[in-house]
Chains A and B, each alone.
Chain A
Amino acid sequence: MLEYENLKDELLSAIDTGLKFARTVDGEAEFELYLFFQNSAKADIKQGVVEATDGIVKGNAVRVAKQNCISFASSSGISPARIRRSINEAVAGLRSVSIKDERFKGFCEPKRPGKEGTFASEILSLSKEELIRYAKDLVKDGQEFDSRILMVQGSCSATWGGFAIGNTQGLQQASRSASNDCDVSCIAVDKEERRVGHEFDITRERLIKTEGMGERAARKAISLLGARKLNEATVLPTIWEPIAAAAYIAASVGQSTGGHAVVEGRSPLAGKIGEEVANPNLTIIDDGQNPSSVTTEAIDAEGHPQQKNTLIEKGKLNQFLFDTYYARIYGTESTGNCARGGGPFGSTLPYEASPGISPKSIEVSPGTKKKDDIINSIGGKAILIVDFPIGIFHSSVSTGEFSAVAQSAFLIQNGEKKTPLQPVSVSGNFYKGFERLLELGSDLEKTPLLVETPSLLFDGFSIVG
């Protein structure tokens, strides 16, 4: 039985055995073996309907390379038989398709690992009953806040696990983590009008704090009732509260700074290192070693140490994010950003995803003005976006053009927050937006999108409502 304490040793032992077998299959090929193990329990209560899951995700993935041909195979499970199956499948794939990737220059070389993030042992001992009780409290809080709250959904989960990587370059590393998260959403209804409010908590350094969360989500939903139509197609300043700003950052910089997008000609930021691409007050880092971030690991998904990278520094584009493959094509070093099914909407079976590039934990440096002071400083009309705008992740990375619908928005008029608005369409170009970024708030917040950001004030986006 794998436990948190022995997880790394057990996985590394299986890696060692697997690599030895791989060499017997083809002694001239290069191999990389990845093992994943995650124990996950989740309770979900939608009004009074309860669904709960408790299971173990485990799987393996093999990459094999020979004379610039490369193949990937994965299978469920981490037993020696399943690992051997993937090795054989990958080798068979390599032999059946003799397609060269001239850009492939070998797997990740061994380096000293970084640090695992903070670990709260109480997450491991969280019982199923406690998870269900947390979810029940979230729902109860939301339901009791106001009679106009029609539906409340509360979810809580606790996960712990780890992964290990080994390759024929001599790399053998492993990393572990645990996290605890919850979210609640409330639907407020008044006649034909329906509004939604969300709250969340995600942590690795303590247990979740559910107290008051249901009420806060309910309050948000209620505050959006009584919305009126904007009845305009115009250009206005927009203030994006942290959750909305996080979506903006993740959908733009979070994707276009990826070395794959740069190398493959799909990033509008390609060729702009050192150039001014944003307001000089904007600094964005990606920190794979932030001890409290749930994505912090000692190594990335190919065994390179995770690290801190500065993407934009005082408005100037500073660097891109790389794994080993794209770093070598671009002529640089990996930044420790290899991921398998990573990102805020990561795969539920990460071992099935081939290695790619993803930010680990983006942080936007805060400004000095409070959000209310920013609002007060606006003359005329503006739009305040207070929740995740729908459709923003359907924007094109290559063009930077986006169009999203702000479901939860308020009208700002002459420096005052006025009425809630019926959904408004907000569109423009992400990168032109960064150039017209007017203010950064001081209200830094963590979000479930793996972006920590303050409120942002942009000018120049088209608004239709």
Chain B
Amino acid sequence: MLERLQECVELGEKLGAGFVEARFEDLTLRTLQRINDNWKDIILRSRAGIGVACYYGGASGYSFTPSDSKKELEETVSRAYRMAKASATAVSLKLDFDRRSAVKSSATDTFPAKVHPKSKDLGYKTDLVNRVIDRAREFGENISNVTGAYGELFGQKLFTNSEGSIVDWSFEIVDLRCSVISKTESGDLVMGAERAGGTMGLELFNAKGSTPEDIGKEAGTHAKEQLKARTCPAGKFQTLIENSLVGVLAHESFGHLSEGDFVVVGGSPLTGRIGEKLGTEHATIVDCGTPNIPKFGGLWVPYDDQGTKASETTILDKGLLKHYLHSRGTAQYLHQEPTGNCRAVHFGFIPIPRMTNTYFSAGDLTKEEALELLDTGIYAIQTSGGQVEADGSFLFKAIRGYWVQNGEIREPLREVSLSGNILNLLSEVKGATKDLRLYAGYFGGCGKGGQFPLPCGTGGPELVIGGVTFGGKAG
């Protein structure tokens, strides 16, 4: 296949492209989903294809094909080149980049999973889901729906370009999760959920806290607790935000604003603000493609889809804006180094600046000290997602929460939503706990530019933040 990709590069250059990138992926994706007593999905996907990017006159053109036939590949290169050439007539902001030395990957670049998902049959994995559901039922109450799901994604990613780079590594991710919906006496539906996943082998599901039994128990217990939970009050409150929700905050609210493509066109409120103080000393945000997974969890992305090696990029350092997340073109335009953040969801898309693992750095507080610092307010836990706008406004959903009074956790709160503007919020970060955790999974992902779902890692410690707006019951 490498030869085919190299032929694509040669043909693109022969047609007149200034630079050509060609990549191939051959991925296996499997989804096993059981709803109540029924197996809804046993889905086995094989995703293989080639994408070619041609650069011409400061513009890019991209094309792709699932076929590896010589004729179709020639047509694909031709389409990419023609698109680039047509685009060059409209370009006024050129994202050229200088040639560099060729990048060569090594076999050790692939994360060494102990029990690779391909080494176990489907029966082993359906058993994981069955165990999740059995335990969720044991701990839940008034259950209206219990869903258990397992997902895995693995396979080769191969890349070459006009510099002669050869990047060949294997992506891998597993995920096991459970959600329980229970019905209150008044007929309202409430939810509990739990998950474990990331770039790890199936050994993950033998570890304390992430066994199928642990996952099912947590989901069932939380759904049961939600039966008695009250609606979150509306208004502005002091907040303690739990690790996984902090991760979504780092990704959605700040991470996207730091992506180079948004910065170069002036669309991001972070444009031109390198060196400015945007947050408190407790606010440090990092993006890293190769985190210490055995210790913290997360996703392994040793190279991006432009062949750039992963790096650890401190975007915000104790409140100071330090760096953006880049493709090669945006890095050169902004006089920074490429960061290994140019990614595509699959071969059908041109890579664009995306995050890898984005997280707030740990602080020095214990959980007790964090609650004491919070004093009175809301402890917001887990998330079902979030969204951010170009001006830094955000909305995140916490699956559940607690009311905290004088540093003590009191009654549970139902699903809560947090909103505000990230640039205001960063100046309200009062402290961070010591326990850094990273989260990644097969289900869901980042949807930037219509490229959904790209697996991304997110995480952080728990953060104490003053004055967060909660949507809920007003008046």
Q: A150-172: which residues lie under 8 A (CB-CB) from chain B?
A: 150-151, 153
Closest to B397 in A: A394
Contact check, B350 vs A97: say whether CB atoms are below 8 A apart.
no
- Contact status of A55 and B65, CB under 8 A, knowing A233-B475, A394-B386: yes
Contact check, A90 vs B44: say whether CB atoms are below 8 A apart.
yes
- Contact status of A464 and B234, CB under 8 A, knowing A129-B86, A266-B145, A423-B419: yes
Q: How far is A196 from B311 in the complex, measured between Cα atoms in Å? A: 33
Contact check, A426 vs B144: say whether CB atoms are below 8 A apart.
no
Segment of A116-124, A301-309, A345-353 in the binding face: A345-353
Closest to B188 in A: A399
Q: A355-414: which residues lie under 8 A (CB-CB) from chain B?
A: 390-391, 393-396, 398-399, 401, 403-405, 407
Q: B264-284: which residues lie under 8 A (CB-CB) from chain A?
A: 264-267, 269
Closest to A221 in B: B390
Contact check, A132 vs B87: say whether CB atoms are below 8 A apart.
yes
Q: What does the 1/0 interface line of B374-386 toward A look like (CB < 8 Å)?
A: 0000000000111
Q: A59 on the interface (CB 8 Å rule)?
A: yes
Q: B42 on the interface (CB 8 Å rule)?
A: yes
Q: A47 on the interface (CB 8 Å rule)?
A: yes
- Determine which of B35, B84, B91, B415 lies in contact with A264 in the assembled complex, contact meaning CB atoms within 8 Å: B35
**Which residues of B sit under 8 angstroms from A73, Cβ to Cβ?**
43-46
Q: B470 on the interface (CB 8 Å rule)?
A: yes
Contact check, B48 vs A75: say whether CB atoms are below 8 A apart.
yes
- Determine which of B60, B126, B395 lies in contact with A391 in the assembled complex, contact meaning CB atoms within 8 Å: B395
Closest to B389 in A: A407
Q: A54-75: which residues lie under 8 A (CB-CB) from chain B?
A: 54-59, 70-75
Q: What does the 1/0 interface line of A43-54 toward B look like (CB < 8 Å)?
A: 101111111111
Most chain B beta-carbon contacts within 10 A, residue among A43, A53, A96, A423: A53
Q: What does the 1/0 interface line of B41-66 toward A look like (CB < 8 Å)?
A: 11111111100000000011111111
- Contact status of A352 and B29, CB under 8 A, knowing A128-B82, A151-B265: yes
Q: What does the 1/0 interface line of B174-207 toward A look like (CB < 8 Å)?
A: 0000000100000011110000000000000000
Q: A234 on the interface (CB 8 Å rule)?
A: yes
**Which residues of A sit under 8 angstroms from B181, Cβ to Cβ?**
265-266, 398
Closest to B346 in A: A349
**Which residues of B sit under 8 angstroms from A93, Cβ to Cβ?**
42, 44, 122
Q: B378-426: which residues lie under 8 A (CB-CB) from chain A?
A: 384-397, 414-417, 419, 421
Q: What does the 1/0 interface line of A182-210 toward B look like (CB < 8 Å)?
A: 00000100000111100000000000000
Q: How far is A197 from B190 in the complex, measured between Cα atoms in Å? A: 36
Q: A79 on the interface (CB 8 Å rule)?
A: yes
Q: How far is A196 from B262 in the complex, measured between Cα atoms in Å? A: 14
**Which residues of A sit under 8 angstroms from B61, Cβ to Cβ?**
52-54
Contact check, A132 vs B145: say whether CB atoms are below 8 A apart.
no
Q: A249 on the interface (CB 8 Å rule)?
A: no
Contact check, A354 vs B41: say whether CB atoms are below 8 A apart.
yes
The distance from the CB of B145 to the nearest CB of chain A, in whole angstroms, is 4
- Contact status of A391 and B83, CB under 8 A, knowing A233-B475, A345-B452: no
The distance from the CB of B352 to the nearest CB of chain A, in whole angstroms, is 8
Contact count band on A:
35 or more
Q: A76 on the interface (CB 8 Å rule)?
A: yes
- Determine which of A59, A97, A265 lies in contact with B66 in the assembled complex, contact meaning CB atoms within 8 Å: A59
Q: B309 on the interface (CB 8 Å rule)?
A: no
Contact check, B84 vs A52: say whether CB atoms are below 8 A apart.
yes
Q: A319 on the interface (CB 8 Å rule)?
A: no
Q: How far is A234 from B474 in the complex, measured between Cα atoms in Å? A: 5
Q: A462 on the interface (CB 8 Å rule)?
A: yes
Q: A82 on the interface (CB 8 Å rule)?
A: yes
**Which residues of A sit under 8 angstroms from B189, Cβ to Cβ?**
266, 268, 396, 398-399
Contact check, B384 vs A352: say whether CB atoms are below 8 A apart.
no
Q: A310 on the interface (CB 8 Å rule)?
A: no
Q: How far is A391 from B415 in the complex, measured between Cα atoms in Å? A: 13
Q: A86 on the interface (CB 8 Å rule)?
A: yes
Q: How far is A405 from B388 in the complex, measured between Cα atoms in Å? A: 10
Contact check, B391 vs A46: say whether CB atoms are below 8 A apart.
no
Closest to A96 in B: B122
- Determine which of B66, B93, B123, B190 lies in contact with A49 in the assembled complex, contact meaning CB atoms within 8 Å: B93
Q: What does the 1/0 interface line of B147-169 toward A look like (CB < 8 Å)?
A: 00000000000000000000000
Q: B411-459: which residues lie under 8 A (CB-CB) from chain A?
A: 414-417, 419, 421, 447, 450-452
Closest to A56 in B: B65
Q: B107 on the interface (CB 8 Å rule)?
A: no
Q: B76 on the interface (CB 8 Å rule)?
A: yes
Contact check, A49 vs B95: say whether CB atoms are below 8 A apart.
yes
Q: How far is A50 from B94 in the complex, measured between Cα atoms in Å? A: 8
The distance from the CB of B85 to the nearest CB of chain A, in whole angstroms, is 9
The distance from the CB of B269 to the nearest CB of chain A, in whole angstroms, is 6
Contact check, A391 vs B265: say whether CB atoms are below 8 A apart.
no
Q: A101 on the interface (CB 8 Å rule)?
A: yes
Contact check, B145 vs A234: say whether CB atoms are below 8 A apart.
no
Contact check, B452 vs A51: say whether CB atoms are below 8 A apart.
no
Contact check, B384 vs A394: say whether CB atoms are below 8 A apart.
yes
Contact check, B86 vs A52: say whether CB atoms are below 8 A apart.
yes
Q: A235 on the interface (CB 8 Å rule)?
A: yes
Q: B1-44: which residues lie under 8 A (CB-CB) from chain A?
A: 29, 31, 35-36, 38-44
Contact check, B348 vs A464: say whether CB atoms are below 8 A apart.
no
**Which residues of B sit under 8 angstroms from A75, Cβ to Cβ?**
45-48
Closest to B267 in A: A151
Q: What does the 1/0 interface line of B464-475 toward A look like (CB < 8 Å)?
A: 000001111111
- Determine which of B62, B385, B391, B416 lies in contact with A194 in the assembled complex, contact meaning CB atoms within 8 Å: B391
Closest to B333 in A: A49
Can you list 15 pairs linking A and B with CB atoms under 8 Å apart?
Answer: A54-B82, A56-B65, A82-B66, A99-B42, A128-B86, A196-B390, A354-B43, A390-B388, A391-B397, A398-B191, A403-B471, A405-B394, A407-B393, A462-B472, A464-B236
Which A residues are closer than 8 A to B by beta carbons?
Answer: 41, 43, 45-59, 70-77, 79, 82, 85-86, 89-90, 93, 96-97, 99, 101-103, 128-129, 132-133, 135-136, 150-151, 153, 187, 193-196, 233-235, 264-266, 268, 345, 347-349, 352, 354, 390-391, 393-396, 398-399, 401, 403-405, 407, 423, 425-427, 462-464
Which B residues are closer than 8 A to A by beta carbons?
Answer: 29, 31, 35-36, 38-49, 59-67, 76, 79-80, 82-84, 86-95, 121-123, 126, 144-145, 181, 188-191, 234-236, 261, 264-267, 269, 345-346, 348-350, 352, 384-397, 414-417, 419, 421, 447, 450-452, 469-475
The 4 A-B pairs of least Cβ separation, nearest first, read A48-B92, A391-B395, A403-B471, A48-B93
8 new A-B contacts, CB < 8 A, other than A74-B46, A101-B38, A354-B43, are A53-B61, A233-B235, A348-B349, A398-B145, A399-B190, A404-B395, A423-B393, A425-B419
